[in-house]
Amino acid sequence: MECLVQNKHQKEMNSKCTVGVTHFQLIQMKDFRFSYKFKMACKEDVLKLCPNIKKKVDVVICLSTTVRNDTLQDVKEQRVSLKCRKQLRVEELEMSEDIRLEPELYDVCKTDIGRLCSNVVFGNAQTMECLKDRKKQLSRQCHQRVFKLQEGEMLDPELDYQLMRVCKQMTKRFCTDVDAKNMLQCLKQNKNSELMDPKCKQMITKRQITQNT
């Protein structure tokens, strides 16, 4: 299933299968169901840091918030184990791919999506990209949630699904040995290289403008 999730937007993927995979993801978010890998890697972390939580999405948010706070406070030792953080990244990227996989964010922005992004197809982070592009037209609550999410992407650019998808080959070319926190900075530094992909360059410029507004 993890493999199908990662490849559901490939050209070779059957459209009915894509719908089925997304449905499975949406059902998963409603209760405490994780992949075997995640359970093995994060069981102790969940019991210690996020006890009594019943929904998968809330567990992911709980662990992600802990990692984010520890990173911001520059603590010597992260509370979430390294093996769990690696699996957490898979879950976070999965959620950022489709706004419906973050129910609280989706509920807050549902009206804005209908008003501003009704022609945008869910998946591939297109809805979130649409909301970011229309940042000044968003309702106050939706704006706050999108902006808060964006802060997390700035802290860890790998969580910016659209940027990582468009610039995947460029990160391999220019930023192989760069850690996640400095990924966007690395791409910025190489933005004007003759080898830089035009679509990636456009996305980097877009992120720079968004950060400055």
pLDDT, position 152: 61
Task: Average pLDDT across each block of 10 residues of the chain; the chain has 213 residues. List them in order.
Answer: 83 88 81 80 94 86 86 84 89 83 89 95 88 90 80 60 83 84 85 92 80 58
pLDDT, position 192: 92
Indicate whether 151 belongs to any domain. no
Indicate whether 193 belongs to any domain. no
> What residue type is 70 in one-letter code?
D
Residue 124: CA count within 13 A, CB half-sphere = 11
Indicate whether 80 belongs to any domain. yes
Indicate whether 192 belongs to any domain. no
> What residue type is 203 in one-letter code?
M
Indicate whether 125 belongs to any domain. no
Residue ranges of alpha helices (H) inside 50-139 are 56-72, 82-97, 103-116, 126-133
DSSP state of 121: P
SS3 of residue 205 by DSSP: helix
- Total residues found in the chain within this entry: 213
Indicate whether 72 belongs to any domain. yes
The Cα–Cα gap between 118 and 111 comes to 10
Quick: pLDDT tens for 46-99.
999 999 887 888 898 899 889 888 877 877 899 999 999 988 888 887 887 888
Indicate whether 124 belongs to any domain. no
Contact in structure between 196 and 190 (CB atoms under 8 Å): yes
Instruction: Give me the residue label for tokens 């940027």.
Output: 163
pLDDT, position 49: 95
Print burial letters for 126-164: b (CB count within 10 Å at least 16), e (below 16): bbbbbbbeeeeebeeebbebbeebbebbeebbbbbbbbb
The Cα–Cα gap between 51 and 58 comes to 11
Residue 55: CA count within 13 A, CB half-sphere = 13
Q: Two tokens at 177? A: 């040995």
Indicate whether 35 belongs to any domain. yes
pLDDT, position 89: 83
**Strand ranges (DSSP E) for 118-194?**
none
Total tally of structural domains belonging to the chain: 1
pLDDT, position 48: 95
Distance from the Cα of residue 144 to its chain's centroid: 17
The Cα–Cα gap between 24 and 200 comes to 31
Angle of helix 56-72 relative to helix 36-49, nearest 10 degrees, comes to: 60
Its domain, for residue 46, covers 1-10+25-97
What percent of the chain lies above the pLDDT cut of 90?
A: 27
